Amino acid sequence: MKAADIMTTNVVTIDSLATIDRATKVMKQHDVKTLIVDRASDKDAYGIITATDISYAIANTKDPASTYVCEVMTKPCIVVNPNLAVEHIANLFSKAKIRIAPVIQDRLLGVVSITDILTKTDCLTLDKAKFKANKTLASGQFADKAIENDWEIADWETEYDNWCSG
C-alpha cells in the first residue's frame, strides 16, 4: 500500500495570517488537531500547525487573539510523496517524531497520519513484516524466554528515495 491509498483527502487548511485563536476554532469545528497552512504562492512551501504548537504558544504567554499562525507553525514541514510505501511512512514518522504529514505532488493531495496507517492497513501483521535472523547467540546457549533465535525487523533506511521535505 502507498500513501495515496490511505491518505485523508478532506484536508482542513488555514491562512498563515489567521490568529491562533481562529485556528483553534477551525480545529474544533472540523474535529481535527492539525491544520495545513496554505502556501502564499505556488513556489512557497506548505506549513503545518498542531494543537500542541498552539498549547506551547499559550504556555509561553502568547495571546491567542493577536498571535498569528505563521509565528508558531512549522514551515517547511515534512511532506510525503503519494507513491511512498506505508512501511516507509511509518519509519519516517518514527525517525522524524511526527504523527501526520501532508501528501504533496505539485499540490496538496491529502494528509496521512499514524491513525491512517493503523486503521487502513494490515502492515502490522507479523506475516507481512520483513524479518532477518539475528545469530548472536552461540550454539547451545538459550535466552531466558526460550529458543536461541532473536528476530528483528529488517533495515529499510536505504529505501528512502521517494520522500522529500517540503
* Helices 51-59 and 20-30, axial angle in degrees (round to 10): 140
pLDDT of residue 138: 44
Helix (H) or strand (E) holding 111: strand 107-113
Taking domain 3-123, whether its CATH number is 3.90.1530.30 is answered by: no
Q: Going residue by residue through the chain, which has 166 residues, state the pLDDT in tens, using 9 for 90 and above.
A: 999 999 999 999 999 999 999 999 999 999 999 999 999 888 899 999 999 999 999 999 999 999 999 999 999 999 999 999 999 999 999 999 999 999 999 899 999 999 999 999 876 554 444 444 343 344 444 444 334 444 444 444 444 444 445 4
Q: What is the Cα Rg of the chain in Å?
A: 20
pLDDT of residue 42: 86
- Determine the pLDDT at residue 125: 54
Domain ranges of the chain: 3-123
Which residue, 20, 25, 161, 8, is CA-closest to 99?
8
Residue 123's pLDDT is what? 60
Q: Residues near 38 by Cβ (< 8 Å), separated by ≥ 6?
A: 13, 14, 15, 16, 46
pLDDT at 124: 56
